[in-house]
Structure 1
Amino acid sequence: METQATRFLKQQKVAFEGHPYEYEHRGGTKVSARELGVPEHQVIKTLIMQNESREPLVVLMHGDCQVSTKELARQIGVKKVEPCTPETASRHTGYLVGGTSPFGTKRKMPIYLEKSIADLPLIYINGGRRGYLVSINPADLVRVLSPTLVEVALASGD
């Protein structure tokens, strides 16, 4: 399956495997992990947020965790961080919400990676469309995106 994200990965010579699954509206990482039979902790969410000046940023987080926006703001030196609206996120990335990938975004944005993701053996991350994840080595993600490592995970309360 060819997407903006997979083209980017090929250009960067990143080895990846595509994993299509049955997309469920608002299903999130719980559904993709279940459909692919992988731990939700290894499914990485791509979250598009903004600071108080409405400057967008990307946060990559474990599927089974939430982002502490207060802690993120503190660690990156801004007053406030909040999620973008789906429309704003699509405008910044060129992707539909539910199909947002950190690879090949329309606009270059700072990327923040939850530090423990880099320690996983393999991660599953959106491949640029709804119902499509790619599995890659997190070292490759770090190499091609040069993210800033942060520690802002909160265990999900569900």
Structure 2
Amino acid sequence: MSKSRHTSETPATHWLRQQKIPFGEHPYEYVDHGGAREAARQLEVPLHQVAKTLIMEDEQAHPLVVLMHGDCEVSTKNLARQIGVKKVAPCTPDTAQRHSGYQVGGTSPFATRKRMPVWVERSLLDYDVVYLNGGRRGYLISVPSAVLRDALQAKPVDVALGGDTDE
């Protein structure tokens, strides 16, 4: 049985199909610690158009999802300020998996185990289509950026840090 380009259903793709939201499927060869950069390279899509799905928590351990450009980091100070909390920090991989139901490296913002607020870097919404994880390592999906706002009720924030920028 060849696994090379076969894609099976994930909670994310199942949810998208139930909602009748069209999406493209983009399997690639998963590389440990390759992240969005490796996915973009293999799929030959702009890294800035690939969204990382990050699971974070506020100071009261309330989880939240942040969608960020693949080539940027999140200013947690600016995020906390913009969403009205004192502090935001990334979750540990185990905690992120408990909140999302997805393995780190395969986290999708769709059909998470826990319902969490979703925040999206505003400039991701400028793209007609964005690429993000489809719920499994080595598997991106493409959706119209409006899906992030409309289906996920993602609220836009301006919290991107470029590669060389400091907080």
TM > 0.5 fold call: yes
3-state SS in 2 of match to 1:44 = strand
Structure 1 segment 6-25 matched on structure 2, within 5 A: 6-25=13-32
Q: Does 1:30 align with 2:43?
A: no
Q: TM-score, normalised by structure 2?
A: 0.92
Aligned-pair Cα RMSD in Å: 1.0
Match of 1:127 in 2: 134
**How many corresponding residue pairs?**
158
Match of 1:96 among 92, 95, 103: 103
Alpha-carbon shift at residue 141 of structure 1 (Å): 2.1
Match of 1:112 among 103, 110, 119: 119
3-state SS in 2 of match to 1:145 = coil
Query: In the alignment, residue 79 of structure 2 is paired with which amino acid?
Result: L
Q: TM-score, normalised by structure 1?
A: 0.98
Which structure 2 residue ranges, 5 or more long, are not aligned?
1-7
Query: In the alignment, residue 144 of structure 2 is paired with which amino acid?
Result: N
Match of 1:46 among 43, 53, 69: 53
Match of 2:151 in 1: 144
Ranges of 4+ aligned residues in structure 1 off by more than 6 Å:
none
Q: Does 1:61 align with 2:76?
A: no
3-state SS in 1 of match to 2:57 = strand
- Which structure has the larger Rg over C-alpha atoms? 2
